[in-house]
Structure 1
Amino acid sequence: MERSREDEVRDRLADIAGDEPGPAEQALLGRLIRSYLQKTPAGVDRLSELLRGGDTDTLREHAHALKGSASNIGAASLAAVFAEVEQAARAGFVPDPDLTLGRIACEQALVLPILEKLAGEA
């Protein structure tokens, strides 16, 4: 059975702060989530630029950074899309921008509301 995206995110956050985080851990999680929510849109905008005309080395590095950020907060499916971009760029190939950005937008539409809800809980 496939785990939900919310379960993945909650499990990762529990890895970071424990199953019953105290006030300090809750504050840390809140900062982590809010930072992700604030920085990721600009990061995806930059990825869009790179998919449409950047060099593969810069694309690879940027996709790697986005993959790491998504992994850090437990967005495994989103991280997998960034990993595919990273691997393609490593092979000297630029994936189709529209298809790739569409997949990212779909994953973000599923994950960002979860993160916003969890940020409110933190």
Structure 2
Amino acid sequence: MERSREDEVRERLADIAGDDPGPGERALLGRLVRSFLEKNPAGVDQLAELLRGGDPGMLREHAHALKGSATNIGADSLARVFAEIEHAARDGVVPDPDLMLGRIACEQALVYPVLEKIAAEG
């Protein structure tokens, strides 16, 4: 059974701060999540340019960084899309930009509301 986007994120944040975080930990988690929400769209815009530009080396590095930031906050489903791009680029293949950007947009539409809800809790 697939975990929900909220379960993915909450499990990761519990790994970071424990099951019963205090006010300081909740504030830190809120800042972490807000930072991701602020920076991820620009990172994806840059990824789009790299997908359309066709440079596998730079694409791999950027997809790897995006995967890491998504993994850090528990956006595992989004991280898996970045990982697919990273692995394809490592093999010298630039995936179809429209397909990959569409998948990213779908994942963002599912996980961003969860992240906004969690950020508001902190």
Q: Do both proteins adopt the same fold according to a TM-score greater than 0.5, normalized to the shorter chain?
A: yes
Q: Equivalent residue for 1:118?
A: 118
Per-residue CA deviation, residues 35-89 of structure 1 (Å, 9 max, x unaligned), is 0000000000000000000411110000000000000110111000000000000
SS in structure 2 of the partner of residue 2 of structure 1: coil
Post-superposition offset of 1:26 = 0.6
Q: Which runs of 5+ in 2 are unaligned?
A: none
Deviant stretches of 4+, over 4 Å:
none
Query: RMSD over aligned Cα, in angstroms?
Result: 0.6
Q: Which has the higher contact order (CA 8 A, sep 6+)?
A: 2
- When normalised by structure 1's length, the TM-score is 0.98
Equivalents in 1 of 2:28, 2:10: separation in Å? 14
Identity %: 79
Which sections of structure 1, spanning at least 5 residues, go unmatched?
A: none
Q: Across the two proteins, how many residue pairs are aligned to each other?
A: 122
What pairs up with 1:10-49 in 2 under 5 angstroms?
10-49=10-49
